[in-house]
Chain A
């Protein structure tokens, strides 16, 4: 299974937001934000786009597959 690192916690911390505030902004539960930050849950594509747009980032800058092959 592909594991995906993400920068949600880092971006959230930079903006000084709590997990509850981010969850409310994204329309998900606080537990889901925690799971995404810990890499336990891989968000759906629509939610991944919502997260990226919220932080004004591109999706591939927010989510980075661990097993991404280079030079292909």
Chain B
């Protein structure tokens, strides 16, 4: 799809198309207020993505998904930090929600998620003992 477009233009054009459709739907459902919010946001993000595609930096490589091993490792560390921050944020928000006696049911999903994702990650990325495994002392 969109093979006729230069690679740098493909994602911004897709964003504009999706944003345009979203704007039309928004206008039908919520009126012209939606156009005022969705359209500028779409234009800014698409323009930012296009500009980023022309730069020669780590951020561009990471955002555009064309990074090498160092950039992939850096992205992984950033995602790990984001996961840790989110886990702490969920815990803190839960405490605040209990203290202020607000709705707690969303936390029944959010609180177990970090632990669950750790367990799933451990299972997905575990090392399988291979045929070439050697025992100690041999």
CB pair A30–B56 under 8 Å, yes or no, is yes
A36, closest chain B residue (CB) = B70
Q: What's the least CB distance linking B3 to chain A, in Å? A: 24
B68, closest chain A residue (CB) = A28
Q: Does B57 contact A (CB under 8 A)?
A: yes
Q: What's the least CB distance linking B52 to chain A, in Å? A: 14
Q: Does B67 contact A (CB under 8 A)?
A: yes
Interface of B is mostly: helix
Docked Cα-Cα span, A29 to B67, in Å, equals 7
**Total A-B residue pairs with C-beta atoms closer than 8 Å?**
28
User: How many residues of B are in contact with the other chain, CB < 8 A?
Assistant: 9
B74, closest chain A residue (CB) = A41
Docked Cα-Cα span, A32 to B56, in Å, equals 12
Q: Report the contact-size class of chain A (Cβ under 8 Å from the partner).
A: 10 to 19
Contacts of B71 in A (CB 8 A): 29, 31-32
CB pair A47–B56 under 8 Å, yes or no, is no
Contacts of A30 in B (CB 8 A): 56
Interface of A is mostly: loop
Docked Cα-Cα span, A31 to B55, in Å, equals 12
Q: Does B133 contact A (CB under 8 A)?
A: no
Docked Cα-Cα span, A44 to B73, in Å, equals 11
Contacts of B69 in A (CB 8 A): 28, 32, 43-44, 47
Q: What's the least CB distance linking A49 to chain B, in Å? A: 13
Contacts of A27 in B (CB 8 A): 68
Contacts of B61 in A (CB 8 A): 29, 31
A contacts, CB < 8 Å to B: 27-32, 35, 41, 43-44, 47
18 contacts between A and B (CB under 8 A): A27-B68, A28-B69, A28-B70, A29-B56, A29-B58, A29-B70, A29-B71, A30-B56, A31-B57, A31-B58, A31-B61, A31-B70, A31-B71, A32-B68, A32-B69, A32-B71, A43-B69, A44-B69
The 7 A-B residue pairs whose C-beta atoms are closest, nearest first, are A28-B68, A32-B70, A41-B70, A29-B68, A32-B68, A31-B58, A44-B69
